[in-house]
Structure 1
Amino acid sequence: MRGKVLSYADLDGTGLISGDDGQRYTFTRGDLGGGVRSVIPGVDVDFEASEGAAKNIFVTSASSGLSGDKNKIVAALLAFFLGMLGIHKFYLGKTTAGIIMLLCGTIGWILFAIPPLVIGVIAFIEFIIYLVKSDQQFHQDYVVGDKSWF
């Protein structure tokens, strides 16, 4: 059966799907298939209905649900052009990492320009990583997950 995710709480791993038959089905993180560990509301899914619960859930439109949160292209461009200031970290909600990059990129010049050079290399590596990752993996690692570096 096909449906659309209405809600999902990543903290406890539970959610609700509205099926094409007009019924609502609950699900847990363990019911997600295809290597997906998290979904966001609005994603189209294919699932099996079993006693009011959705089982064997597979995302059928990864881009429609992932584009509403944080865009990997925007994050990559921020990393490339403003990476030494950590702006891409702030965009992704990683404030501590952003502050570290901002401090190293601005006042780090006092230490013979080594911290800004290191931060510049890190930002460039992250620029490449953001572009290479799939939308689903980017969303899982940097939006839903707590990954701040690489």
Structure 2
Amino acid sequence: MKGKILDFNEESRSGIISGDDEKRYNFEIKEWKGSQLPRAGSRVDFFANGDVAEAIYAEPATNGTSSKKIAAALFAFFLGAFGAHKFYLGYNKQGAIMLLVFLFGFILLGFPSLVIGIIAFVEFILYLVKSDEEFEQTYVTGYKPWF
């Protein structure tokens, strides 16, 4: 059966999976078959034994994640000062802030525009060094609009 991890508590080493059948299943870490600890929001494939999940495997990341990562990095590099990468990732408020600070920066002799350009370049580097799963968890599924 397939499902999604709703919660995982590292202290108790247990969690809850919401199955695609709309039932919830408890699990212990001993049933986890991955090399990394389970994370909330991850898609999994498992065997249901009553209300307990057994033999849990993480589903591989989809290719759509990496294309979103690459596109966001390219936007950050080429159009980052205008906030294009923020708009692309759905952070419209932060994109508008970057755009306005960059445009109004010319009035103040370019210093704010330079700072926005540096921020965009740092975000470009951060996007590239993160793994696809980490990028997805941080910027797409999670909500981390800055750095």
TM-score bracket for the superposition, by shorter chain length: 0.7 to 0.9
Counterpart in the other structure of 2:12: none
SS in 1 for 2:90: coil
Distance, in Å, in 2 between the alignment partners of 1:89 and 1:141 is: 13
The equivalent of 1:26 in structure 2 is 24
Larger Rg computed on CA atoms: 2
What's the CA shift for 1:70?
6.9
Q: Which residue of 2 aligns with 1:91?
A: 88
Secondary structure at the aligned position of 1:46 is classed as strand
TM-score (norm 1): 0.72
Match of 2:116 in 1: 119
RMSD of aligned Cα (Å)? 3.2
Give the gaps of 5 or more residues in structure 1: 19-23
Q: Is 1:49 aligned to residue 48 of structure 2?
A: yes
Residues 70/9 of structure 1: CA separation in 2 closer, same or farther (3 Å cut)? farther
Task: Quickly say closer, same or farther: Cα 1:133–1:68, change in 2 above 3 A.
Answer: closer
Report the Cα offset of residue 148 of structure 1: 0.6
Aligned-partner residue type, residue 101 of structure 2: C
- Give structure 2 stretches of 5+ with no counterpart: 8-15
Query: Match for 1:140: what amino acid?
Result: Q
Compute the TM-score of the two structures, normalised by the length of structure 2: 0.73
Equivalenced residues, count = 134
Identity %: 45
